[in-house]
Amino acid sequence: NLSEKLDKALHTLRGRGQITEINVAETTKEIRRALLDADVNFKIAKEFTNRVKEKAIGQDVLTSLQPGQLMVKIVKDELTELMGGDAEGIDLSGNPSVILMSGLQGSGKTTFSGKLANFLKRKKSKNPLLVACDVYRPAAIDQLHVVGDQIGVSVYSDKENKNPVSLAQAGIAHAKANGHNVVIIDTAGRLAVDQEMMDEISNIRDAVKPQEILFVVDSMTGQDAVNTAKSFNDVLDFDGVVLTKLDGDTRGGAAISIKSVVDKPIKFIGTGEKMDAVDIFHPARMADRILGMGDVVSLVERAQEQFDEEQARRIQKKIAKNRFGFDDFLSQIQQIKKMGSMKDLIGMIPGAGKAMKGLDIDDDAFKHIEAIIHSMTPAERSNPALLDAKRKKRIAKGSGTSIQEVNQLLKQFTQMSKMMKMMQGGGGKKMMQMMQN
């Protein structure tokens, strides 16, 4: 599926020390292929990957975050943008507000009508009325009544009336007479797009002038969903899309393509058959879902949240001036520990990731390091040169470690400070040589 493919495409970059034009090109090519495989329109996929490429090359990715993760973030942000910025609400300004459902048979219109009524009743304190305009199948009218009973919402229907336009009008009149401030009109679909269905829904629209026309589509129908969306939009110029059946195997491609092709917001998603299985559409969450790498993305987010950039800059300055002390070291360790696994996160220390990796410091080692640093006086922390044999002995005792361990830490610290300084100075090559020795 798309998630796995994107994951694979991004894999090469993850954890890489450097983003070059070559591996960005490689990766974006893979991403494009993954998008195409997921039924995303060619032009959209191409534009998308071009934007990702531009951003990746344009951004300063060599500093505080691992480039691979930043790349994931760029892809996620672009996907989010592509699917439509912030979640958009629906227009409830009318009195009553009329919401017209459109879509093929089986897309989930009747189910979603109920879900929406339920949502508006409970979350928006509205008093909705459901109107059954599927005049072809008596079972469809019964289905809406079952739904209405479940959620405690009134349903207007008239099995004698076979004219969907006058039914819709009668429904609205009924709503006005009974104090309903929202009217949800459930209509009949067909198995495929046809003229009769389009005429019927346009006639209802012209007669009732809805505040909102929602197009309901089964997200599991792939590229067909996109074609259907286009046909409906050409005729109806609808206001928003409802993606149903996102509880099954996700076809994220549908969300991306539909939004791009019809340029209408996705407003809701259906995630199950029950009346509460509905969510307002959040592009960022959908991007997460499509990327299927929530852990990586949230890792990046956590890092950005917790890694105080100001502090990073301050420390870099200290390094440059040879004034990086044990206090700074300790606060770096604590920052990192807040974010989770040492191994994944060590690369986030500005300019020091590689150097520290070279030293093979593991999580357990940090416990001793912290204990040792805690046993130092402030003067010793900022000026490690003070640490003579007597002081070392005191520190070892105080931290429950040995003089050897204190010495070891001092050696590592000195070595690390040197390496960091070299990296700041752009002496990457020299550092690599040193690490190999």
In single-letter form, the type of residue at position 380 comes to E
Is residue 157 at the binding interface for ligand GDP, with CB under 6 A as the rule?
A: no
Query: What's the closest the beta carbon of residue 112 comes to Mg ion, in angstroms?
Result: 9
What are the start-end ranges of the E strands in 120-228?
128-133, 154-156, 182-187, 212-218
Work out how close the CB of 5 gets to ligand GDP at its nearest, in angstroms, rounded to a whole number.
24
- In angstroms, give the least distance from the CB of 47 to Mg ion: 36
55 is in an annotated binding site: no
58 labelled ligand-binding:
no
Stretch that binds ligand GDP, among 6-14, 47-55, 77-85, 101-109 (CB under 6 A): 101-109
Q: Which one of ligand GDP, Mg ion, none interacts with residue 244, CB within 5 to 8 A by kind?
A: ligand GDP
Does 247 help bind ligand GDP (rule: CB under 6 A)? Answer: yes
191: which DSSP letter? Answer: S
247 labelled binding-site residue? yes
Stretch that binds ligand GDP, among 80-88, 90-98, 106-114, 362-370 (CB under 6 A): 106-114
CA distances from 156 to 127, 173, 186, 426 (A): 13, 10, 10, 74
- Sheet containing 128-133: order of strands: 154-156, 128-133, 182-187, 97-102, 212-218, 240-244, 266-270, 278-280
Q: Does 103 participate in binding ligand GDP (rule CB under 6 A)?
A: yes
Cα–Cα distance for residue pair 436/414, rounded to 1 Å: 17
What is the smallest separation between the CB atom of 292 and ligand GDP, expressed in angstroms?
A: 20
Q: Which residues within the stretch 158-217 sit at the binding site for ligand GDP (CB under 6 A)? A: 189
Three-class SS string for 1-47?
A: CHHHHHHHHHHCCCCCCCCCHHHHHHHHHHHHHHHHHCCCCHHHHHH
Alpha carbon distance 224, 41 (integer Å)? 12
**Per CB under 5 A, 221 contacts Mg ion:** no
The size of the interface with ligand GDP (CB under 6 A), counted in residues, is 17
Q: Is 259 annotated as a binding residue?
A: no
Buried b (16+ CB within 10 A) or exposed e, 217-240: bbbbbeebbbebbebbbebbebbb
Is 106 part of any known ligand binding site? yes
What are φ and ψ of residue 128, in 5° steps?
A: -80, 160
Residue 110 or residue 332: which is nearer to Mg ion going by CB?
110
**Rounded least distance, CB 119 to ligand GDP, Å:** 13
User: What are the Cα distances from residue 326, in Å, to 42, 222, 310, 338, 347?
Assistant: 54, 57, 18, 18, 19
Site size with Mg ion, rule: CB under 5 A:
3
User: Contact with ligand GDP (CB under 6 A): which of 108, 283, 347, 351?
Assistant: 108
**Could you say whether residue 110 binds Mg ion (CB under 5 A)?**
yes
In which element (H, E) is residue 375 found? none
Q: Which residues bind ligand GDP (CB under 6 A)?
A: 103, 105-111, 189, 244-245, 247, 270-273, 277
Output the known binding site for GTP: 103-110, 186-190, 244-247
Output the known binding site: 103-110, 186-190, 244-247
